[in-house]
Amino acid sequence: MKQIAVRLNYASMSQGPDGVSATPTFPVRLLDAEGAVLAEGAASVDQPAVLQTDDRQEQVFVRLTWPSGRTETQRLALRSGEEAYSVEFSDSRIAANEWSAWAIPKLNPQTPLLRHGSRLNLDLELARFDKVWLRLWKFAGGVWTLQPLQPQATYRNDTAWQLDLELDAAAWLLQLGGSKVIWRFISLPGGGPARVLITPRDSDDPRADALKVVVTSHRGEAETLLEFLARDALRSAKTLAGSAALAQQLFAAKLADPVSAVAGAYYLLRANPQHNQPLDWYENLYREFRWLPDAAIVYCTRMLREGLRDAPARRAVRKLFGECLERGWPVFGEGVSLLQENAALLRGSGKRAENPDYARVMALGAARAWAGAAASFYGRHPDEPSALQWVGMPGAPRRHRLDPALRYSATPPGRPASVKEKTAKPYPPAGPSATNVDRSRNAAEPAAVAPADAVFLLGSIPR
Amino acid sequence: MSLIFEQVQPAAGTHVLAIGVGRYPHLLGGDGRLAARPLGLKQLQSPPVSLQHFLRWCFAPADAAAGSGFSNAGAPLASVEALVSSAQPLLLDTPGGAQQVDTATRDNIQDAFERWLQRLRSHADNIGVFYFCGHGIQVSDHYLLAEDFGRHAGLPWLNAFDFSNTVRAVEREIAGSVFYFIDACREISRDVAMTLGADPHALLAADLSRKLSRQSQTVILATGEGELAFAPQGGQVSRFTAALVGALSGYCGIREAGSASWNVSGENLATAVRSLLEFEALLSPGRPQVSEQQVSGTAVPLLRLNRVPQVRVMLDLAPQQYRPRYELYLESLKGGRVAQSLLDQVFRVDLPRGFYDVGALDPSGVLPALLHAEEELMPPAYALTLRCEP
């Protein structure tokens, strides 16, 4: 047998904020000249993938795959009598700005950041987005409240902006919008540092938003796993997970890192329905981390998929479903899909109006936006995801488009239009300022909204 | 009658349910009483034609040199049910000759679905294929419209069905795998759809007492939410069905380590469909169409092919004025070379997947040689424009 060690020299992608290191891990495959797979494994900066092939092969191709779908391939000539080989993939072509290199594998394969990284002269005219605003929302005490957006560090070049945040253990949402940028929310992982990169759209997809947002919390393996899942790239996820070993390991280490644990749980629920971990693993995750919405979602999903044998089991799951929503919205898009699945199963057909929680999840599903592995949705307020699209400054929202088909939108007589009514509620009055948000607000009180002059503008990030 | 093919298999088999709805009597332009709220939806010419195209692929010879049909030694074709609603009566080509089938009313869809599901339950490794072409509406979940949609003013959604919840119910009923191909317009934007009060029933209610039991599930949707599924004018095969059948006809497949066949599973099929839609957009620029997929479970192949998958190659050279002075070529690293010499046109050729040196040579030796070494030609398509900078 011939043995090929595949190493990843991705120093720039391993750079986190001070004291934080991430370990990007990517699937690699060994192919013959027809493209047939001979072997596969996962390579990281710390750990090379060791792939084996038989002695008959005279040449093989080693292919590295990013979550974006971009691949890099190297040819390797195999000689008789020589058994050990080494191949290295380097990030030298994308490391011009080390602070943004981490995001490139999550962006479109043709992302301008890649070209920028190769030091081509490229200017995406970011100044046109200078008035785009950002707001930060935190879920605490059962309500979403605005928090001052005070990045620990900011970065900007000709292709992207970046913010480093430190978030405590809670559900968080970043909201952005502008006069031509549709208002949307992106979930941020709590319980540590989070890094957000924003870049102009890099895709021809007609559904793509004007600005693309990618998020990392420097959990290399877990995040890469979820990025592959978000793109339905289950083969790559499986290669990365090593037939569920990584996912189980992430899950087992839940006390140390619950966010990575839910990533492992999401993988197991999606890719390995027959090899799920025991229910009590999910239950422990749910009980230990009550601030983490995804922990309740994966437990609820696992129980539903196990089958509900009797009425008490059904009542328990319905209660659990309610708890999922009491924790805020999920961190990951996979959680939105599972919330939809759970709501639909518990609601049954033809009973939409009976439980407002189901209507909220339906609204979330209809309002979904794309931010890779992160959960994202459109709307004006975190509590009210909405398929209606809004633009403008926070104090002056306006409809993005008035679809001609709206003439058909009248609600049929006798049918409730819960979502429509909710979105038609008056926008909450503006509060004094974002920095004056009352942290001791009673949970029953409505959340205040920061005035326009308190929002964080992309244009305020210095070059 | 909707069962157009049945061949009892001793072990696992593949069971197809295919539905094409072009005639909607109660929507705009229909010949029935107009629905109280037709939602701006009209008659469709493409679904019957697209359905026929899909069924021809089901019955085409396996591993043919070009346009190969269904092939899976592990789960051979066992049954095909079809329903079609078209403006004119339609005869479907089947191995037993031309057949007329039932129309795609809600009741007929329900009956055919229940028979299809019963067959799927009959073996733990059975594979189901559910194909639908017609109108659809995306709210949070996805609803599909039967021929008689809008027939009852008091119950406007009675003759639609909740596709998303049907999928969720089926995965608790079977032990095998299902592939859903949904070629449906979702042209009503989600914000409008949310206000419609739509709440059709699924074809099957989920039994929550049952454990999730399926091995794998693939849903490939023609367009993103709120987007039109495109079909050329004049009753032609829709772009999505053309891409789907193209991918299934030998332009997709991966050979895993230790496998003797090239397998087409949900993930690589979804990727191939998306790539073919992008490739076709290169040939006829217009509004791009993007398919979507949801893939879950272990990878179970829909097809097991004995031939190396093919790749549609489009090799061009820029600036165009240099084309007639070059020979464009692809040279396989396994051996073999194809070329187009001194022609002012794009070089189009189908080649087996694999690694190639791709380049251009000026036979007179005046212009520089161009080379992209060790390019991987991955199914279903490969497009490259070589750039000459003398």
Domain boundaries in chain A?
Answer: 2-90, 123-218+378-460, 221-347
Total count of residues recorded for chain A: 463
Nearest to B352 among A34, A39, A406 (CB): A34
C-alpha distance from A444 to closest chain B C-alpha (Å): 28
Partner residue opposite A352 with nearest CB, options B199, B205, B295: B199
User: A399: nearest CA in chain B?
Assistant: B191
Of A232, A235, A412, the CB nearest to B197: A412
Continuous H helices in A71-149: 98-101, 112-117
Nearest to B354 among A33, A410, A419 (CB): A33
Nearest C-alpha of chain A: how many angstroms from B254? 7
CB contact under 8 A, B257 and A415: no
Amino acid at B275: S
Task: Give B-chain residues touching A403 at CB under 8 angstroms.
Answer: 189, 191-192
pLDDT at A369 over 60: yes
pLDDT in tens, A49-106: 999 999 888 999 999 999 988 899 999 999 988 999 999 998 877 656 678 888 888 8
Query: Looking at residue A122, what is its pLDDT?
Result: 67
- Domain B3-305 fold: Rossmann fold (3.40.50)
Cα of A341 to nearest chain B Cα, Å: 8
Q: Is A239 on the interface with B (CB under 8 A)?
A: no
- Candidate from B197, B262, B267 with C-beta closest to A417: B197
Q: Say yes or no to pLDDT of A286 above 60.
A: yes
The residue in chain B having the minimum alpha-carbon distance to the alpha carbon of residue A306 is B211
Q: Are A387 and B189 in contact (CB under 8 A)?
A: yes
CA A435, CA A131: separation in Å to the nearest integer? 20
CB contact under 8 A, A273 and B214: yes
Convert the pLDDT of each residue in A229-240 to its tens digit.
999 999 999 898
pLDDT tens figures, A428-439: 333 333 322 232
Q: Are the beta carbons of A71 and A65 closer than 8 angstroms?
A: yes
Beta carbons of A349 and B355 less than 8 Å apart: no
Strands B177-185 and B292-297 turn out to be unpaired
Of the two residues B336 and A254, the one the predictor is more confident about is B336
Domain B310-387, CATH 3.10.20 — does that match? no
Positions of chain B with pLDDT lower than 50, given as ranges: 225-226
Q: Which of A162-176, A277-291, B85-99, B195-209 has the highest mean pLDDT?
A: A162-176
With beta carbons under 8 A apart, name residues in chain B contacting A207.
224-227, 290
pLDDT of residue A439: 29
Beta-carbon contacts below 8 Å between A and B: 182
**Are residues B216 and B177 in contact, defined by beta-carbon separation less than 8 angstroms?**
yes
Instruction: Identify the sign of the CA torsion B277, B278, B282, B286.
Output: positive
CB neighbours (10 Å) of residue A243? 12
The minimum CA-CA distance between B225 and chain A, rounded to whole Å, is 8
Q: Does A409 touch chain B (CB under 8 A)?
A: yes
Say if CB A296 and CB A320 are below 8 A apart: yes
CB contact under 8 A, A35 and B355: yes
For residue A165, give how far its alpha carbon lies from the nearest alpha carbon of chain B (Å): 32
Q: Is there a common fold for B3-305 and B310-387?
A: no
Distance from CA of A422 to the nearest CA of B (A): 11
**ipTM for the whole complex:** 0.91
Closest Cβ opposite residue A366 in set B140, B215, B376: B140
CA B39 → CA A416, B187, B228, distances in Å?
19, 10, 14
> In this complex, is the C-beta atom of A416 within 8 Å of any C-beta atom belonging to chain B?
yes
Which chain A residues are closer than 8 Å to B282 by Cβ?
none
A88 touches chain B (CB under 8 A): no
- Provide the percentage of residues in chain A whose pLDDT is more than 70: 80
Beta bridge partners of A144: A139
Residue A426 is predicted with a pLDDT of 30
pLDDT value, residue A304? 94
pLDDT of A244 over the 70 cut: no
The partner residue sitting opposite B290, judged by closest CB among A205, A386, A403, is A205
Which residues does chain A have within 8 Å of residue B294's beta carbon, measured at their own beta carbons? 232, 337
Cβ pair A205:B334 closer than 8 A: no
Structural domain spans, chain B: 3-305, 310-387
**With an 8 Å Cβ cutoff, is A63 touching chain B?**
yes
How big is chain B, counted in residues? 390
Place of tokens 């919390």: A217
| Eight-class DSSP state of A130 | T
Contact assignment for A306 to B205 by CB distance below 8 Å: no
Check residue A418 and give its pLDDT: 30
Substitution target from B208, B221, B289 for chain A, most A beta carbons within 10 A? B208
pLDDT at residue A416 above 60? no
The rounded distance, in Å, linking the Cα atoms of A29 and A216 is 25
Beta carbons of A408 and B37 less than 8 Å apart: yes
Residues of chain B in contact with residue A73, where contact means CB-CB under 8 angstroms, are 374, 376
Asked if A419 and B194 come within 8 Å (Cβ–Cβ), the reply is yes
Of B192, B208, B293, the CB nearest to A406: B192
- Contact list in B for residue A406 (CB cut-off 8 A) is 192
Which residues in chain B touch residue A417, judged by CB atoms under 8 angstroms apart? 195, 197
* Residue A50 at interface with chain B, using a CB cutoff of 8 Å: no
* Residue from B48, B45, B221, B202 nearest B138 by CA: B221
Contact call for B353 and A234, based on CB within 8 A? no
Q: Which DSSP string corresponds to B240-287?
A: HHHHHHHHHTTS--B--TT-SSEEE-HHHHHHHHHHHHHHHHHHS-SS
| A residues 285..324 contacting B (CB < 8 A) | 304-309, 314
Mean pLDDT of A125-139: 92
* Chain B residues close to A61, C-beta within 8 Å: 355, 374, 376
What b-and-e string marks burial along B96-129, b requiring 16 or more CB atoms within 10 Å of the CB?
A: eeebebbbbbbebbeebbebbbebbeebeebbbb
Please give the average per-residue pLDDT across A214-218, as a whole number.
Answer: 91
Residue A406 binned pLDDT confidence (cut-offs 50, 70, 90):
very low
User: What is residue B81's predicted lDDT score, i.e. its pLDDT?
Assistant: 97
Domain A2-90 CATH assignment equals 2.60.40.1120:
yes
